[in-house]
Amino acid sequence: MNALGRALIFVTLLGLAHPSGLAAAPEAGGNVVSITIDGAAQNVLFVAPPSPPVAAVVMFPGGDGRIGISATGSIARPANFLIRTEANWLAHGFLFVAVDAADGRAGTRGDRVGPANLRAIAEIVRAVRQRTTAPIWLLGTSAGAPAAMAGAASLPPGAIRGVVVSSPVTMSGSRDSVFDVPLAQVSVPVLIQIHHDDGCRLSPPINAPRFKAALTSARAVEVQEFSGGGFPRSQPCEPYAQHGFIGLEDQVVNASAAWIVSH
């Protein structure tokens, strides 16, 4: 779906100015919101399904998080698993919310789990709630998984319904790991999706049980393991490899959607 075909959502934000210096203002396109934390701006894209949404899915992509959301709603870098499957999520009746990286913070150690991003996530969830009463889920893939988990650990009770993470970064390195999050503070349901043959050194499938075990307060935790798919067309940690569920997009999204609706 290109920018011209996207459903526009009129943006009316309450509390445009905050004592803490937060700011959230609509862009001209109407379906893009700019969130500014400590002077660092990031765009958030809202795309509505044809009918009232059954849930809202807030997408935190992998890598450094930069996907290039423009003021008109176009996405310059749509290859990420969560982003390239937009049409699949809309077909399931979800409000699709894509989160771009913050200027000046993207890719830095601590970006996904630090206090600035936690404040940004709270603002994003607030903006989603202003648009729908449907349950809100945070979804993160690869290096975006720590952001989704950090949001779940820090948001107040009732703010979100649950979390889905795929190919989560579980190894320390240049990217934040899910183990940089106080996982015992996560109380909402968590779905962990992995590929049996994920060859990315930052997200070895063998770490999934340890990740699950650390979620001691979550109401429900499940690990879904996938295999097969298409022949990789990128490096192991990139979107078009098993790490990004190449050739399994429909299967993985369908499984996520079913889990979300049932929880």
Q: What is the CATH number of the domain that holds 123?
A: 3.40.50.1820
Measured between alpha carbons, how far is 225 from 246 in angstroms, rounded to an integer? 14
- Phi, psi at residue 123, to the nearest 5°? -70, -40
Does 145 reside within a domain? Answer: yes
Sheet (strand 32-37) strand order: 23-26, 32-37, 40-47, 94-99, 55-60, 136-141, 162-166, 190-195, 221-226
CB-based contact 233:240 (threshold 8 Å): yes
Does 227 reside within a domain? Answer: yes
Residues of the chain where predicted confidence (pLDDT) is lower than 70: 1-30
pLDDT at site 164: 98
Quote the strand ranges of 159-240, DSSP E: 162-166, 190-195, 221-226
CA distances from residue 92 to 46, 96, 150, 167, 250 in whole angstroms, order as listed: 15, 10, 26, 22, 11
Q: List, for residues 115-165, the tens digit of each pLDDT value.
A: 999 999 999 999 999 999 999 999 999 999 999 999 999 999 999 999 999
* Mean pLDDT computed over every residue of the chain: 89
Does 225 reside within a domain? Answer: yes
Number of domains in the chain: 1
Q: List, for residues 94-115, the tens digit of each pLDDT value.
A: 999 999 999 888 777 888 999 9
| Count of residues making up the chain | 263
- Of 28, 30, 68, 25, which Cα lies nearest the Cα of 46? 30
Quote the strand ranges of the chain, DSSP E: 23-26, 32-37, 40-47, 55-60, 94-99, 136-141, 162-166, 190-195, 221-226
Does 195 reside within a domain? Answer: yes
Does 87 reside within a domain? Answer: yes
Does 179 reside within a domain? Answer: yes
pLDDT at site 24: 33
pLDDT at site 173: 80
Q: What tokens appear for 66 in the block?
A: 């930069």
Q: Would you list the DSSP string of 120-161?
A: HHHHHHHHHHTT--S-EEEEEEGGGHHHHHHHHHHSPTTS-S
Does 1 reside within a domain? Answer: no
pLDDT at site 86: 97
Full residue range of the structural domain in which residue 232 is found = 17-262
Does 170 reside within a domain? Answer: yes
pLDDT at site 200: 97
pLDDT at site 13: 32
pLDDT at site 14: 29
Residues contacting 63, CB < 8 A, separation 6+: 80, 107, 142, 143
Give the pTM.
0.88
